A = this chain, B = another copy of it.
Amino acid sequence: MRTDDRPVSSPVAHPGGSPDTSPLLTDLYQLTMLGAYYERAMESQAVFEFYVRRLPENRNFLLMAGLEQLLDYLATLRFSNDDLAWLESTGRFKPGMLARLADFRFSGDVYSISEGSVFFADEPVLRVMAPLPEAQFIESRLINLLHFQTLIASKAARCRLAAGRKRLVDYGMRRAHGAEAALLASRASYLGGFDATATLEAARRFGIPIAGSMSHAFVQAHATELEAFRSFAQCHPNDLTLLIDTFDVERGAARAVELARELQAANVRIRAVRIDSGDLAANARRVRSILDKADLADVEIVVSGALEEYAISALARWEAPIDCFGVGTKLDVSADSPMMDCVYKLQEYAGRASRKKSVGKGSWPGRRQVHRTYDDNGRIALDMVCRAEEVMEGRALLHPVMLNGHRTQRSPPLAEIRAHAMAEIATLPLSMQSLDHGPRSPVKISPALRSLASQVDRIAH
């Protein structure tokens, strides 16, 4: 644990490859443990499971997300010569170990619930079965990928529940935590019920619809607000959203009306106006009234500014005349709960079930499955967590998504995952679809699993 006082080596400012695919995007201890596993030939099958220990405050359910990126990572995981040379340069790894890493591949099986499925605390949602070094090594990036997208998809689902049928657009790129967070937040929020993103690279990578308007700087750069609106209309007659609050929102709305009259001859219509400040409900009402009086009832109102599910829900409750919410920072950082207590734990090694017993962090041993049963209205009644081999009523949630390192199926289109997520949310009891703290979790532990735990605890370590 002691750290050297000096850097381990000169920094490599631009190592080959992208940071998101580097096998060195991991914790040092994964590699030090691998060294010991290889030396002692501890390469029997290990079973690890990913689960959430406790739901974050203000969450009644979670939406599984990030599986696609995880399977990509597992399928392409390789150490390049540059990676190996750098590891060697640290002086921490033996030649035998580095030789093994040169051939490192993920060759294991992965069982998972589907992306977009709802789940709760204390139930396994992903199981990895692979030789111990492989199953161990992938831990850090596996958690990194599943944690973040699940966090954002679950937050987005709450925004969707609050917004009803109104449109939701992800505006969060600028204050997301870095490049990958911005892109994966767009993906996860679309999956969780958003309609579009403002982030171009996310639109390119994931085929998500894009949306946007203009910034205050655009308005300021022109001599007058009306001049700015004209300039934008001339360039983008087919997708015309005007930001009307740079100086004064009612005057901005009046300018939009003025422009609409000018554009009439050319048959160009204003699609929407955006309000980004002040009392959004009051401003939306005032602006709606100005627009309606000018016979512009079809011009929509977009609002933005520090929005998340709570503000959206209040605006919906007050029946503010809003058509679309631009949701930014608080979505992309999951502001009310920027992290989840999720873990990836060893359940079994070489056929022997085990669990840790650290105070406050105990776990259930062995490989597990979740069986979900529904009530007569199609709502989730019970999630029974049991030993994988138990025969149980209900639908088994974990199914193979990767066998021997190969995906069992092509990735479903994102729109399909999103549709599945919307259907899954509809299976939640109504009390869990509320933003308020819902009823206790539907998760139960099977008697056979409890009995295995007692059995495991009787073994001396």
Contact = CB atoms under 8 A, between A and B. Distances in A.
Interface stretch (A309-317, A354-362, A431-439): A354-362
A180 B19 contact: yes
Contacts of A40: 231, 234
A247 to B, nearest CB: 5
A177 B181 contact: yes
Nearest to A12: B204
Give the oligomeric copy count. 2
Contacts of A19: 18, 20, 179-180, 183, 201, 205
A358 B276 contact: yes
B144 A217 contact: no
A212 B176 contact: no
Contacts of A339: 175, 329-330, 333, 335
A205 B13 CA distance: 5
A351 to B, nearest CB: 12
Interface string A35-68: 1110110100010100000000000000000000
A9 B169 CA distance: 18
A1 B175 contact: no
Contact of A210 (B3, B145, B220): B3
A72 B38 CA distance: 40
A42 to B, nearest CB: 6
Contacts of A302: 1
Contacts of A246: 356-358, 461
A440 interface: no
A184 B182 CA distance: 14
B217 A11 contact: no
Contact of A198 (B22, B29, B177, B356): B29
A424 interface: no
Interface stretch (A109-117, A135-143, A258-266, A442-450): A135-143
A140 B328 CA distance: 12
Given A1-B212, A144-B182, A209-B3, A22 B201 contact: yes
A205 B28 contact: no
A330 B22 CA distance: 24
Range class of the A interface residue count: 35 or more
B247 A217 contact: no
Nearest to A414: B11
A56 B330 CA distance: 14
Nearest to A304: B1
Given A15-B205, A302-B1, A32 B177 contact: no
B221 A346 contact: yes
Contacts of A415: 7
A349 interface: yes
Contacts of A136: 215, 217-218, 221
Nearest to A354: B220
A412 interface: no
Contact of A174 (B140, B217, B232, B414): B140
Given A36-B234, A40-B234, A248-B357, 17 more contacts: A1-B212, A2-B324, A4-B196, A19-B20, A27-B212, A32-B239, A35-B236, A36-B232, A139-B215, A144-B176, A175-B339, A176-B177, A177-B338, A224-B460, A276-B358, A277-B360, A330-B339
18 contacts: A1-B169, A3-B211, A11-B206, A19-B20, A26-B200, A27-B174, A27-B198, A29-B198, A32-B232, A33-B232, A36-B235, A86-B204, A90-B210, A140-B173, A175-B339, A179-B180, A221-B346, A246-B357
The 3 lowest CB-CB distance pairs between A and B, nearest first, are A178-B180, A18-B18, A28-B212
